[in-house]
Amino acid sequence: MDIKEVILTINRMLADGVVDCYAIGGAVGATFYLEPVATLDVDIFVTFRLEPGSLLISPQPIFDYLKAGGATSEGEYIVIAGWPVQFLPPGTPLVEEALREAVVSDVGGTPARVFTAEHLAAIALQTGRARDKARLLQFVEAGAIDATRFQTILARHGLVDAWHKFERQFLDDTP
């Protein structure tokens, strides 16, 4: 099990032109800014290439490429170096923006493209499950997000009310 091998594989996929762009999100993305938290899978957001002669966006070229390299599939996941990896298209304008504005971090000599902390926090707010709220709290408590940049993203994507509700629910009583 080696998550760095997953990153190397995605970088090769990018260099070979299988995807136009990628960024790591989810719990693994959050680990670039926070303390590591146990997770069972890796979320990779990608812009899919159009298959020749097709108007439909398909992840099939990704699966074909990775399977040719020895990866196996498990349902919606493809297993790389022991990690189930899920390739996700950007489903909202916020995630599209996060993918466009992702930053490159150095992981021991390996470049890894990852969502910014502010986008990860905004996506957690938008998704809104209990675990997302917990992650958002981690970002706030760790002081890992730039408040101005975060507020700008929230305003651009209609999340200001959701943020005020979150503040009332979780932050107003913080000593």
Partner 1 sequence: MSFDLQKILESKRSLRSKLAARPLAEKLRMLDTLRERELAIRERPVSGSAIVREVPPQSRI
Residues 6+ apart with CB under 8 A from 121: 135, 136, 139, 140, 144, 145, 150
Nearer to partner 1, 61 or 84 (CB): 84
- The whole-angstrom separation of Cα 113 and Cα 118 is 15
Stretch that binds partner 1, among 35-43, 44-52, 53-61, 156-164 (CB under 8 A): 35-43
**CA–CA separation, 102 vs 120, rounded Å?**
10
Smallest distance from partner 1 to CB 66, Å: 19
Q: Binders of partner 1 among 89-108, rule CB under 8 A?
A: 105-108
Contacting partner 1 (CB under 8 A), which of 13, 28, 95, 154?
A: 28
Which residues have C-beta within 8 Å of that of residue 168, sequence separation ≥ 6?
none
**Nearer to partner 1 (CB atom), residue 43 or residue 96:** 43
Among 8, 14, 21, 32, binds partner 1 (CB under 8 A): 32
**Residue 107 or 160: which CB sits closer to partner 1?**
107
Return phi, psi of residue 174, to 5°.
-65, 125
Alpha carbon separation from 51 to 37, 66, 96 (Å, rounded)? 37, 16, 20
Nearer to partner 1, 82 or 89 (CB): 82
Region near partner 1 per CB under 8 A, out of 55-63, 67-75, 141-149, 162-170: 141-149
- Alpha-carbon separation of residue 121 from 6, 19, 26, 51, 90 (angstroms): 23, 25, 10, 33, 16
Q: Give the nearest distance from C-beta 33 to partner 1 in angstroms.
A: 7
At closest approach, how far in Å is the CB of 140 from partner 1? 13
Residue 5 or 96: the one with the smaller Cβ distance to partner 1 is: 5
